[in-house]
Structure 1
Amino acid sequence: MAITDNVSVMRQGQMVATRKTAETTVEELAELMVGRRVLLQVEKGAAKPGEFKLSVKNLTVKDSRGVTMVNDVSFDVRAGEIVGIAGVAGNGQSELLETIAGIRRAESGTVMLDGKPIDVTGLADPGELRDRGLAHVPEDRHYVGLVLPFEEYENSILGYHDHKQYLRGPFLDIEAIRADAREKIEKYDIRPANERLKTANFSGGNQQKIVLAREMEKDPGVLVVGQPTRGVDVGAIEFIHKRLIDMRDAGKAVLLVSVELDEIRSLSDRILVMFDGRIVGERDGEASEGELGLLMAGVEQQEAAE
């Protein structure tokens, strides 16, 4: 929109429209890209927070170099709300999510899931956390969320492959797994609708839907999600946002990390801002982009409020 005179839209391998940039809008282009009207603004009602589902207290995490990436961080997430963490990439958000999900060890602090501790300073077991109702959509779907050479149905059960519904005695029930994958494909509009296709051959948006379907369909009490729409087309963005709001409205606790400030502001009921490994401010979902931007740049809370 900023630098072109004309713009053409491709959809499903065909050129479907050409417009003069000055005579079109973002909304029209989005509709042409997807083939239907797209809601660019997230529609949601007021949150109805319930009991504490996830509590982080005085958490400190170092990276492989010994550098402190999360510095004495504390916050809570309640059932029925989305808590967004805003910040410029590299300010500790990734390490925070990995620690909560049991992937990275903390130096100190506590994390409580449904009032019971997670062994974040020792050997937290991601599989045990899944069984306790914590689902994790990682920031990097290629290196953490998926095994790209695997077929879609194989990725659709990663981490849950020992659940009874996927087993026949001591062996995997391949037909049951494929049937389950087909149901997820239909529900999440994953394209192409082929559970035997190698995951590397799906688009980024559809790969993201595979991960989301796997985690969301286990009905977790807490969903920890990083960069939910990174590299995703506009139609999939709308779908993912709706699913996150649906989870919130179903009484789930959602912890969201995104470098997209518009996404944080649109989805979050409360916004925590991280800078240099610390929580430097908390705002509600109505906070202005300018106010959050100042906090993300390390401006003190009082200065940002002014």
Structure 2
Amino acid sequence: MAISSPSSCAVSIAGLTKTYASGFQALKRVDLDIQQGEIFALLGPNGAGKTTLISIVCGIVTASSGTVAVAGHDIVRDYRVTRSKIGLVPQELSTDAFESVWATVTFSRGLFGKAPDPARVEKVLRDLSLWDKRNEKIMALSGGMKRRVMIAKALSHEPEILFLDEPTAGVDVELRRDMWEMVRQLRDRGVTIILTTHYIEEAEEMADRIGVINKGELILVEEKATLMKKLGKKQLTIELDQPMHAVPPELAAWNLVLKPGGHTLQREFDAADTQGGVAPLLRRLGELGIGFKDVNTQQSSLEDIFVSLVHQKTHETVGGAAAGAAA
């Protein structure tokens, strides 16, 4: 979904491509607008282009073509301004092992030209349960604590836009819970959050919008609620009182499937269909004298939708290549 007003865009990406010297095309003409104050989740398999896209916006990797604007500023022409507005929590841990927690977070703030603010640094460390570790050397910390330090460094200069690249990969449950609480608080203060994650349930819980990228191509961008409604499926399961040998012809209109054993009827329908013909079906069962003891509906998750989209896109790509070869 394109955002019509440029002034409301935290990040605006147009025609972005990246081809490495090896010839590998990591990004294929990506167009994307991310709104101020939203949580945007970018999902995709390993190697799909998520980290490359983030790295270009953050000024770490140079694009082959296309433009990126951060809060209306071009990331190449106005790189000092744009980088000061961005905080990045990278996927890989990279810290000054011999520095103390306090020193490295304070230094990160100074890198962006921010005046010393011990109260601000203290708040960040307390929010991330790092205050008791402030004088310890980073090399002595656990992996989870080092991840907290990376987040603290990214927040030290009070960025308007925060990129989280697989931020909870391999961390403990406590940190994951603390971090998502902090993300909610940041969004409430107007900070724009862009995250990539393998924990799709987190995106389902947190994100306002979802983008799906596969093989360098942005294949879908949609409001989360709309995506779940448009592409989700529901499955109706009816447990029968007595087994049946076959679905009666009077029920043919509902496309029911009789499971092995004859005790269960199932029907799949679009999540956008709020009724799914359930009430008429149950009435018809009663008219036919078919008793049932339980009725259950289950809706597909964001993970189901994601897997389906990637599989469909991969199938289309393979099919197109085969057709081209045949021609």
Q: How does the TM-score come out when normalised to structure 2?
A: 0.65
Name the CA distance, whole Å, in 2 between partners of 1:63 and 1:149: 34
State the one-letter code of the partner of 2:53.
L
- Partner of 1:149, secondary structure, is coil
Alignment of 1:25-36 (within 5 A): none
Q: Structure 1 residues 74 and 301 mapped into 2: Cα distance closer, same or farther (>3 Å)?
A: farther
Structure 2 match to 1:240 = 179
Structure 1 match to 2:216 = 277
Structure 1: tracts of 5 or more residues without a match: 1-49, 167-175
Superposed CA deviations along residues 46-99 of structure 1, whole A, max 9, x for unmatched, are: xxxx92111111100123533110110111111121111001111111111111
Identity of aligned residues (%): 22
Does residue 138 (structure 1) correspond to residue 90 (structure 2)? The answer is yes
Structure 2 match to 1:165 = 115
Which of 64, 67, 72 is equivalent to 1:110? 67
Name the CA distance, whole Å, in 2 between partners of 1:297 and 1:200: 42
Does residue 190 (structure 1) correspond to residue 147 (structure 2)? The answer is no
Name the CA distance, whole Å, in 1 between partners of 2:123 and 2:304: 43
Which of 105, 110, 118 is equivalent to 1:156? 105
State the one-letter code of the partner of 1:59.
L
Does residue 83 (structure 1) correspond to residue 19 (structure 2)? The answer is no
- Displacement after TM superposition at 1:158 (Å): 4.5
Q: Indicate the structure with greater helix content.
A: 2
Structure 2 match to 1:42 = none
Alignment of 1:9-24 (within 5 A): none
State the one-letter code of the partner of 1:147.
D
Q: Structure 1 residues 234 and 114 mapped into 2: Cα distance closer, same or farther (>3 Å)?
A: same
Name the CA distance, whole Å, in 1 between partners of 2:313 and 2:204: 19
- Displacement after TM superposition at 1:273 (Å): 0.3
Name the CA distance, whole Å, in 2 between partners of 1:298 and 1:92: 18
Are 1:59 and 1:71, in contact at CA under 8 Å, matched by a contact in 2? yes
Which of 282, 299, 305 is equivalent to 2:313? 299
- Displacement after TM superposition at 1:135 (Å): 1.4
- Displacement after TM superposition at 1:282 (Å): 2.1
Which of 200, 206, 211 is equivalent to 1:261? 200
Name the CA distance, whole Å, in 1 between partners of 2:26 and 2:120: 39
- Partner of 1:111, secondary structure, is strand
Name the CA distance, whole Å, in 2 between partners of 1:300 and 1:281: 14
Superposed CA deviations along residues 244-303 of structure 1, whole A, max 9, x for unmatched, are: 12122222211111122122222211100000000111233243321111223353799x
Name the CA distance, whole Å, in 1 between partners of 2:44 and 2:110: 35
Kindly report the root-mean-square deviation, in angstroms, between the aligned alpha carbons of the 2 structures.
2.5
- Partner of 2:14, secondary structure, is strand
Are 1:268 and 1:285, in contact at CA under 8 Å, matched by a contact in 2? yes
Which of 1 and 2 has higher RCO (CA within 8 Å, sep 6+)? 1
Name the CA distance, whole Å, in 2 between partners of 1:255 and 1:301: 28
Q: Structure 1 residues 62 and 155 mapped into 2: Cα distance closer, same or farther (>3 Å)?
A: farther
- Displacement after TM superposition at 1:217 (Å): 4.1
Are 1:86 and 1:258, in contact at CA under 8 Å, matched by a contact in 2? yes
Does residue 97 (structure 1) correspond to residue 54 (structure 2)? The answer is yes
Does residue 62 (structure 1) correspond to residue 19 (structure 2)? The answer is yes
Count of residue correspondences: 234
Name the CA distance, whole Å, in 2 between partners of 1:182 and 1:250: 18
Which of 209, 213, 222 is equivalent to 2:148? 209
State the one-letter code of the partner of 2:313.
V
Structure 2 match to 1:39 = none
Name the CA distance, whole Å, in 1 between partners of 2:198 and 2:191: 22
Structure 2: tracts of 5 or more residues without a match: 1-6, 229-301, 317-327
Q: How does the TM-score come out when normalised to structure 1?
A: 0.69
Q: Structure 1 residues 68 and 158 mapped into 2: Cα distance closer, same or farther (>3 Å)?
A: farther
Are 1:295 and 1:301, in contact at CA under 8 Å, matched by a contact in 2? no
- Partner of 1:271, secondary structure, is strand
Are 2:88 and 2:154, in contact at CA under 8 Å, matched by a contact in 1? yes
- Partner of 2:30, secondary structure, is strand
Indicate the structure (1 or 2) with the bigger Cα radius of gyration.
2
State the one-letter code of the partner of 1:249.
D
Are 2:27 and 2:217, in contact at CA under 8 Å, matched by a contact in 1? yes
Name the CA distance, whole Å, in 1 between partners of 2:60 and 2:108: 13
